[in-house]
Structure 1
Amino acid sequence: MAAMSAPDALVTVVGLDAAGAPPHPALASALAGAGLLVGAARHLAAVPVPADAETVVLGPLAPALRRLVDAAAAGVPAVVLASGDPGLFGIVRRLRAAGLPLRVVPAVSSVAAAFARAGLSWDGAAVVTAHGRDLRPALNACRALPLVAVLTAPGAGAAEVGAALVGWPRRLLVAEHLGTDAERVREVTPDQAAEAAWSDPHVLLSIAVPADPLLDMPTSDPVGAGAMRVDNQPAAAPAGGWALPEDRYAHRDSMITKSEVRALVVARLRPRLGRLVWDIGAGSGSVGIECASLGAAVLAVERDPGSAATIRDNAAAHAVDVRIVVGCAPAVLDGLPEPDAVFVGGGGVDVLTAVLARRPERIVLTLAALDRVAPAVGLLRAAGYTVEGSQLSAARLAALPGGSIRLAATNPVVVLTGERP
């Protein structure tokens, strides 16, 4: 960062309280000595602007940054007005990147104000933004985690988030115009959010609603404290690890991806917060559940209703949120949100063809029958994917009479990974 030696050339960044409280006392003294004020029109209108101070109304940020850099170099104190806490997905990052010497006076952030208005604690919440960036990572965080705050933007707000969350058991709290006379906080379902008109700016809270396993419907009670991670890291790696032994999952007739294979499959899928993984032919759901435990949003596709119930029980036992879609692939894949990565644990050429048509970044398959390997590789390469493959053949320690041990072989499996360039 460039050094600015003039002590009076500081840029004071002041947050105006999203909860509607009076400005911080430091604002008055900062304004009194300021030669330059920068802020949105609504912020500049909310403070007494000194008669001799130049003002720059924020639109595109680059011209304002240039003017602030010039003022600092000339020893002219400046004040930047922002909403709430300007260090939370705010202007502080860009000002620091420009080499400006900063003093930051934060106020209550819009996120904190929204949770306060809702009467909710938010120590376990994830905070994401859709402002000026791709909406999909924010959506997938809402799909994966029980409590998420989304800083929205025009075209990436409650309507768009609601439409994308249809099918996930969520309730949405939308806080509009926080701290103003027009403030309004509404609780809606994803469907209702998608159909409503919303004013900017607004903050959205996505809250998981536990499902009633008997009715397969959301209950009216919001997510409770018991559903939150006790380590206060909503997207951290699970404390108990992954590639867990098969006996950590309920499964039928050993129809489960073995832990050695699952370790490689999950590594190849690269699950993390902000990504959506499809688990097709999910069986016990072990692959999808471990992806969810690493922060990814997961859709488990399973044709057998009994297996779908097992996936639901396994997901609950591992305290992760997995959306289950019951139906036969490839037909059931139509209309599902676009995946970042897909695990094909069941299905034939028609399923792989349908997955390729969606163009995910990565596709991982496990194949026990060797005669299916070459056709799968051919389809992946024809679609422009680079392909890696390996056969996994593990042997596990097993007891023999008299205290001896032997190696018991598991069935060999071919793992194929297709990556889109």
Structure 2
Amino acid sequence: MTPHTPPAPPEGPPVPPHGPAPITVLGRGPHPLPPGDAALLAAATLVAGARRHLEAAPVPAGARRVVLGPLAPALDAVAAEAARDGGRVVVLASGDPGFFGVVRALGERFGPRRLEVRPDVPSVAAAFARLGLPWDDAVVVSAHGRAPHTAYNVCRAHRKAAVLTAPGAGPAEIGAALLRTPGVERRLVVASDLGGPDERVEEVPPAEAAARTWPGVNLVLCLGPGSGPEGGPGGMRTLAGAPPAPAGWALPEDAFEHRDSMVTKAEVRALALARLGPHPGALVWDVGAGSGSVAVECARLGAAAVAVERTADGAARIAANARAHGVDVSVVHGEAPRALAALPDPDAVFVGGGGAGLPAVVAACAARARRTVVVTLAAVDRVPAVRAALRAAGLEDGGVLLQSSRLAPLPGDVVRLAAANPVFVLWGHRPGAPRRQGGVLP
């Protein structure tokens, strides 16, 4: 029998037995600290944390207090105290400080082996527990110190999301953002002071959330149809978070309802998706959407999607295609560029179709896109005007003429090459914007 081999120790230099004292990170909830944590806090010579944590905790009278506002000077103070002979540092944080918390910044500065982390129950877990819902299938996004549009887009795209809010990105702003994407059904649950004397857990529609004033510290759950246990598949989950991205994309044209073959062909859609880069946290416009095939595929890949279509039957067809694929697409019945004015700014835009007004539509989209615009067209005459519109908006442009031939059967169990119509795929990328930006964990 093979003797048992103990696991290798973690990488990194060990902390000497008489070396620097560890930096203790205490996750705080509304209840009193357990005796062991209270003893660590009582021995501290420096205590850092948000102002509300410092005011609520029994900080020793002789300990220096450091408010975690701007992080760099606070970390400098922690470093100086931790290096001092006899210095003992305690950092107070909410819930689990390793979950969108201060542990990341402390670990980057001091190394994880210098940290002694004692977490409490994460606020997200507590909020879902109040509703009696599992949360292993929820997408969690933080708006603290990050661009809030990522959080808004997660709420638009996913039917079970939790937002760690921040000033200027709270329930009112989330509600207002959802009101700007019609056709996406959501309800909000606002949880504040969880477990504390002033705990409130309220379910409100987005319009009410947008109109109210809320406490400064809260958590928002954004829930859509089927977000309860009865709405999902049975059995055990293997991966936490949103469902994984589909194994394939650039679906065949017959995967979508369309009129007279007015659907972006799979080969063209594959290249367009590669340039658009849809992912969780991003917002993609599909302008001149037709069947909505691009919007639906972007939504399948986790992005929030808005489809703009000028015909009523086309708008209905897009909604039907989204339902058939189990995704949420906000459908706007209107003509670009006028219909774009009320929409939230996109990360990427797909413009399909043609017509004499195409350059004006491209110009309006390029002025608003944070990252990328992709345009498909057949008429060679309009290529210079589209490229000029992209460049005028400050985008770096490129493009290809895409020509493909599919295998088609012939009598005698043989095949031939059936050529599809050539299509120009043009794009513009904003200088300095990452090739993939946003995301659930920015």
Q: TM-score, normalised by structure 1?
A: 0.90
The equivalent of 1:324 in structure 2 is 331
Report the residue type matching 2:376 in the other structure: T
The equivalent of 2:28 in structure 1 is 16
Preserved CA contact (<8 Å) 2:348 2:369: no
Q: After alignment, is 343-352 or 229-238 more displaced?
A: 229-238
The equivalent of 1:197 in structure 2 is 213
Alignment of 1:107-126 (within 5 A): 107-126=120-139
How many angstroms apart in 1 are the aligned matches of 2:54 and 2:329? 46
Preserved CA contact (<8 Å) 1:124 1:233: yes
How far 1:413 sits from its partner (Å)?
A: 0.7
How many angstroms apart in 1 are the aligned matches of 2:119 and 2:381? 63
User: Aligned to 2:140, which of 127, 130, 135?
Assistant: 127
User: Aligned to 2:109, which of 98, 111, 114?
Assistant: 98
Report the residue type matching 1:125 in the other structure: A
Residues 322 and 223 (structure 1 numbering): CA distance in 2 closer, same or farther, change over 3 Å? Answer: farther
Preserved CA contact (<8 Å) 2:48 2:68: yes
How many angstroms apart in 2 are the aligned matches of 1:355 and 1:51? 58
How many angstroms apart in 2 are the aligned matches of 1:115 and 1:108? 12
Alignment of 1:96-245 (within 5 A): 96-99=107-110, 101-166=114-179, 167=182, 168-209=184-225, 225-226=231-232, 232=239, 234=241, 238-245=245-252
Q: How big is the alpha-carbon RMSD for the aligned residues of Structure 1 and Structure 2? A: 2.4
Identity of aligned residues (%): 54
Q: After alignment, is 4-13 or 130-139 more displaced?
A: 4-13
How many angstroms apart in 1 are the aligned matches of 2:327 and 2:134? 20
How many angstroms apart in 2 are the aligned matches of 1:394 and 1:382? 31
- Within the alignment, does 1:261 sit opposite 2:268 as a pair? yes
> What count of residue pairs does the alignment treat as equivalent?
409
How many angstroms apart in 1 are the aligned matches of 2:237 and 2:295? 22
The equivalent of 2:393 in structure 1 is 383
Report the residue type matching 1:368 in the other structure: A
Report the residue type matching 1:152 in the other structure: T
How far 1:195 sits from its partner (Å)?
A: 0.8
User: Aligned to 2:40, which of 30, 36, 41?
Assistant: 30
State the SS of the aligned residue for 1:187.
Answer: strand
Residues 240 and 299 (structure 1 numbering): CA distance in 2 closer, same or farther, change over 3 Å? Answer: same
How many angstroms apart in 2 are the aligned matches of 1:200 and 1:243? 44
The equivalent of 1:88 in structure 2 is 99
Report the residue type matching 1:78 in the other structure: V
How far 1:222 sits from its partner (Å)?
A: 6.4
How many angstroms apart in 2 are the aligned matches of 1:135 and 1:240? 29
- Within the alignment, does 1:54 sit opposite 2:64 as a pair? yes
How far 1:231 sits from its partner (Å)?
A: 5.7
How many angstroms apart in 2 are the aligned matches of 1:106 and 1:33? 19
Query: Gaps spanning 5+ residues in structure 2: where?
Result: 1-11, 432-442
Preserved CA contact (<8 Å) 1:8 1:77: no
How many angstroms apart in 1 are the aligned matches of 2:400 and 2:51? 60
Preserved CA contact (<8 Å) 1:85 1:109: yes
The equivalent of 1:74 in structure 2 is 84
How many angstroms apart in 2 are the aligned matches of 1:386 and 1:59? 38
How many angstroms apart in 1 are the aligned matches of 2:42 and 2:410? 85
Q: After alignment, is 376-385 or 247-256 more displaced?
A: 376-385
Residues 379 and 28 (structure 1 numbering): CA distance in 2 closer, same or farther, change over 3 Å? Answer: closer
How many angstroms apart in 2 are the aligned matches of 1:237 and 1:362? 24
How far 1:30 sits from its partner (Å)?
A: 1.4
How far 1:295 sits from its partner (Å)?
A: 1.5
